[in-house]
Amino acid sequence: MSDITAIIPVREGSRRLPNKNISPFGNSNLLLHKIDQLKKVQSISRIVVTSDSDVMLEMAKEVGVEIHRRDIEYCDEKSKSFGEVVKHVCENVLGTHILWAPCTSPLVLPANYYEAIVEYYNSLENGYDSLVSVEPFKRYVWNDSGPINYQLGTKHLPSQELEQLYFISDGIILAPRTKMIEWSYFHGVNPKRFVLDKIHCVDIDDKLDLEVAKAWWSQISK
């Protein structure tokens, strides 16, 4: 039987977009929108909102999901590393498996979660240690020293012939809870790459991202 705990990590502070996690979205806000999406996935056993914000935790309680209150040191992005935050959260919730489901990925749909969970269980049986959602891309990429995936001059390649690369979208992360604690991270070194298209990989970091997500949502929610 499936025993999956969906974790929605939110916090009060946001430098680029104030109150980002409760920005208006759809018929409510990003946090409530994500809770509603996860409630539609029958293979999820419980939903937990983890936060330092009284406002966000109260929203979660009002719609009937569990909460985990984090001390400010686990939310200020300075006192504790991200890995320490993941470990802390996983040590304080129940469940055999954890689905990390940020509300800043509002275009990850219930059907995407369902497919990812099926793929996750199959992947564990085939030697993978976790599952991460990714967006494949082939673009010309530079670092401070120059091109890193192509050559200038006569050896230049058309973009479709470039090496396949992937963005980790962070929209869906799945792994055994005890492993997340052991790793102090939310996926392992051998994750199954679960491919999502560009729309479902939209991640909200600033005002422009939010407007893009709203525009796409207005199309796919019709």
CATH classification at residue 47: 3.90.550.10
- Is the model's pLDDT at 220 over the cut of 70? yes
Of 31-35, 50-54, 64-68, 218-222, the range with the lowest mean pLDDT is 218-222
16 in a structural domain: yes
Q: What is the mean pLDDT of residues 35-39?
A: 98
To the nearest 5 percent, what fractions of the chain are helix, strand and coil? 35, 25, 40
Give kind and range of the element (H or E) at residue 37. Answer: helix 30-39
Which residue range(s) make up the domain with 128? 4-134+169-220
Closest by CA to 56, choosing from 72, 71, 69, is 69
pLDDT in the model for residue 15: 73
**Confidence bin at 13 (pLDDT 50/70/90):** confident
158 in a structural domain: no
164 in a structural domain: no
190 in a structural domain: yes
Strand arrangement of the beta sheet that strand 191-195 belongs to? 66-69, 46-51, 4-9, 97-100, 165-176, 130-137, 191-195
162 in a structural domain: no
Sign of CA pseudo-dihedral 169, 105, 82, 50: negative
- Is the model's pLDDT at 1 over the cut of 80? no
pLDDT in the model for residue 32: 98
What is the tally of structural domains in the chain?
1
Residue at 148: amino acid letter: I
**Is-contact 13 206, C-beta < 8 A?**
no
Give kind and range of the element (H or E) at residue 116. Answer: helix 110-125
155 in a structural domain: no
